Structure 1
């Protein structure tokens, strides 16, 4: 599935169950692991789990098998890995603590790291 369609699928699944503060981060220049991250908040652990579950269900309905889902047990932070897109669904307190938006904004790109390692 093309990244734009995957992003639309994820955003629609999150918005369907009223996720809060949805943010998209283009991390394609920062890491080779994924191209896009979506971060969203839920209002309770149950809401976080439901948001992630809905996303997984919608992805499977469209023929996208998640590569992995982590954190479903505690449901303070659930990560859904869809390959080119990784979705973090978090409780507001957990999101504030880890501050992924700032963390990813402050990272040097892979190219910058390679030039630093090569001494250029």
Structure 2
């Protein structure tokens, strides 16, 4: 699993994704084991990062579903969820707070 996470973050990093964060959600009552969040440089870059992931990770990774918009793309690899977001959407939806609380076992607490 760690090799898969490293490969995904390497692809994102080498293609100029910013603020890449990995959340270990194993045994945390969440539907995936890991979530990865990365910021794009803008809408076109969001799509470009998805293309890089598809090109560099297939066929070793199975893309179960991809939900695309120009501001936020979610890639479902089954046990790993990848969020690629524009900086504005990343601030607006603040997934880090939710996933951090979940990873720390504080999912029921208010922030």
TM-score range, shorter chain: 0.7 to 0.9
Distance in 1, Cα, partners of 2:30 & 2:99: 13
Per-residue deviation, 1:32:
4.2
**RMSD after superposition:** 1.9
SS in 2 for 1:29: coil
Cα separation, partners in 2 of 1:6 and 1:96, compared to 1, 3 Å: same
Aligned to 2:83: 88
Runs of 4 or more above 3 Å deviation = none
Is 1:26 aligned to residue 24 of structure 2?
A: yes
Alignment equivalent of 1:100, drawn from 95, 100, 103: 95
Q: Superposition pairs for residues 105-116 of structure 1, below 5 Å?
A: 105-107=100-102, 109=105
TM-score normalised over the length of structure 1:
0.79
**What is the alpha-carbon distance in structure 1 between the residues aligned to residue 81 and residue 34 of structure 2?**
6
Q: Tell me how far 1:52 sits from its aligned partner.
A: 1.5
Distance in 1 between the 2:85 and 2:41 partners? 9
Structure 2 unaligned residues grouped into runs of 5+: none
In terms of fraction of residues, the more helix-rich structure is 1
